[in-house]
Amino acid sequence: MRTTRTAGKALARRSRGIGAAAVCVALGATALAGCGGSDPGDGKGGASPSAGQSAGGGGGVALPKLTGQKIEVAAVWTGPEQANFTKVLDAFEKRTGATVTFVPAQDPIVNFLGTKIAGGSPPDVAMLPQVGAIDQAVAQKWAKPLGAAAKAELAKNYSKGWQDLGAVGGTPYAVYFKAANKSLVWYNTEAFANAGATVPRTWPQFLKTADTLSASGVTPLSVGAADGWTLTDWFENVYLSQAGPEKYDQLGKHTIKWTDPSVAKALSTLAQLFGRPDTLAGGPDGALQTEFPASVTQTFTGGDAPKAAMVGAADFAGVNVRQTKAKIGTDAKVFPFPAVGAASPVVTGGDAAVALKDTPGAQALLTYLASTDAARIWAAQGGFVSPNKNLDLAAYPDAVQRSIAKALITAGDDFRFDMSDSMPQSFGGTPGKGEWKDLQDFLKNPKDVAGAQRKLEADAAKAFKG
Mean pLDDT of 339-354: 93
E-assigned strand segments in 113-228: 125-128, 167-168, 171-172, 174-181, 184-188, 221-222
Q: What is the pLDDT of residue 425?
A: 85
Task: Calculate ∠ Cα 141-427-9, nearest 5°.
Answer: 50
pLDDT at 413 over 90: no
pLDDT-wise least confident of 18-27, 39-48, 93-102, 163-172: 39-48
| Number of neighbouring beta carbons within 10 Å of residue 79 | 14
Q: For residue 346, what pLDDT band results from cuts at 50, 70 and 90? A: confident
CATH 3.40.190.10 is the classification of domain 14-31+58-181+347-417: yes
Q: Do domains 14-31+58-181+347-417 and 184-336 have the same CATH topology?
A: yes
Computed over its alpha carbons, how large is the radius of gyration of the chain?
A: 21
pLDDT-wise least confident of 29-43, 116-130, 190-204, 397-411: 29-43
Q: For residue 21, what pLDDT band results from cuts at 50, 70 and 90? A: very low
Higher pLDDT, 130 or 371: 371
Fold annotation for 184-336:
D-Maltodextrin-Binding Protein; domain 2 (3.40.190)
Q: How many helices (H) and strands (E) does the chain have?
A: 21, 12
pLDDT at 150 over 60: yes
Mean pLDDT of 377-398: 95
Mean pLDDT of 244-267: 97
Q: For residue 406, what pLDDT band results from cuts at 50, 70 and 90? A: confident
Q: Please state, for a pLDDT cut of 70, what percent of the chain lies above it.
A: 87
Higher pLDDT, 362 or 23: 362
pLDDT tens digits for 270-326?
999 999 889 999 999 999 999 999 999 999 999 889 999 999 999 999 989 999 999
β-strands 347-355, 416-417 pairing: parallel
Give residue limits of the domains in the chain: 14-31+58-181+347-417, 184-336
187, β-bridge pairs? 310, 333
Q: What is the pLDDT of residue 59?
A: 54
pLDDT at 101 over 50: yes
Q: What is the pLDDT of residue 108?
A: 84
pLDDT tens digits for 374-387?
999 999 998 899 99
Say whether the peptide bond before residue 108 is cis (omega within 30 degrees of 0): yes
